Amino acid sequence: MELKRKLVVAVTGASGSIYGIRLMRALVAHPVEVFFMVSSAGQGVMAHEIGKMDQPLERFLKNSGARFHKQAAVFEIDPEDLFAPIASGSFRHDGMVIAPCSMNTLAAIASGVTGNLIHRAADVCLKERRPLILLPRETPLSLIHLKNMYRLAKAGAILLPPCPGFYNRPQTIEDLVDSVVARVLDHLGLAHDLSKPWKGKGN
Ligand SMILES: Cc1cc2nc3c(=O)[nH]c(=O)nc-3n(C[C@H](O)[C@H](O)[C@H](O)COP(=O)(O)O)c2cc1C
């Protein structure tokens, strides 16, 4: 039987909110509790790129094609609510993913400035030595961006830039997105069939 996980997922205002939504769709196929936040900029970018989240989270995900495991539950949290349980290290969970992660949020976490619940929850993951997976999106990268990523990698975060692989010969945007989300699920230790692992030439 698969162990039930508690995870935190945040979407920030970098391009690529589709990664966060695709990740949520994949996560709820497992026995999970997911605490989900979208930054204010993230809401704007998401509305522009894939449409406004104008329904309660569970319904929104189901309407986007998610199939919920019978033990899956999602909770939408206000990213300004610094009184939420995930603001405290005493609230145990299994890790956090920020998909996509803006350079603003990256900089805040790298410098320990916790101006909102997304920054604070990430800060808690680092101090509690819990998995923190960041999908930083910007191009090109300045020295400041690179230094922030370096600091975060040194502090234990996993930097997983949304750079799709092409070795599985993707046909659609969804294939490209899935190849990135597959790597996130691999790091969380969750089974998936989103993307085939490379097995050498001829496969
Ligand atoms: C359409 C659009 C696309 C953006 N794409 C990026 C991006 O790819 N990377 C990034 O770091 N910021 C991007 N930004 C800027 C962020 O939204 C902005 O820095 C914001 O302050 C981030 O706030 P947050 O970290 O609280 O989400 C974009 C903004 C807009 C409007």
Whole-number pLDDT of residue 116? 98
Atom of ligand 1 nearest to the CA of 108: 25
**Virtual torsion, Cα 109, 112, 118, 120, nearest 10 deg:** 150
Count of domains for the chain = 1
**Rounded to a whole number, what is the largest CA-CA distance in the chain?**
54
Q: Determine, yes or no, domain membership for 39.
A: yes
Q: Is residue 32 part of a domain?
A: yes
**Which domain does 108 fall in, by range?**
5-188
195 is a domain residue:
no
Q: What percent of the chain has pLDDT over 70?
A: 99
Q: What is the DSSP string of 95-134?
A: -EEEEEE-HHHHHHHHTT---SHHHHHHHHHHHTT--EEE
Mean pLDDT value across residues 73-87: 97
The protein residue whose alpha carbon is closest to atom 2 in ligand 1 is 45
pLDDT in tens, 149-171: 999 999 999 999 999 999 999 99
- Whether 201 is covered by a domain: the verdict is no
3-state secondary structure of 138: coil
Q: Is residue 196 part of a domain?
A: no
Question: Which ligand 1 atom sits nearest the alpha carbon of residue 116?
Answer: 26
Q: Is the four-CA dihedral 80, 17, 23, 96 of positive or negative sign?
A: negative
Low-confidence winner among 17-21, 150-154, 194-198 (lowest mean pLDDT): 194-198
**Given this model, what pLDDT does residue 1 score?**
77
Domain of residue 120, CATH code: 3.40.50.1950
Instruction: Answer whether residue 130 is part of any domain.
Output: yes
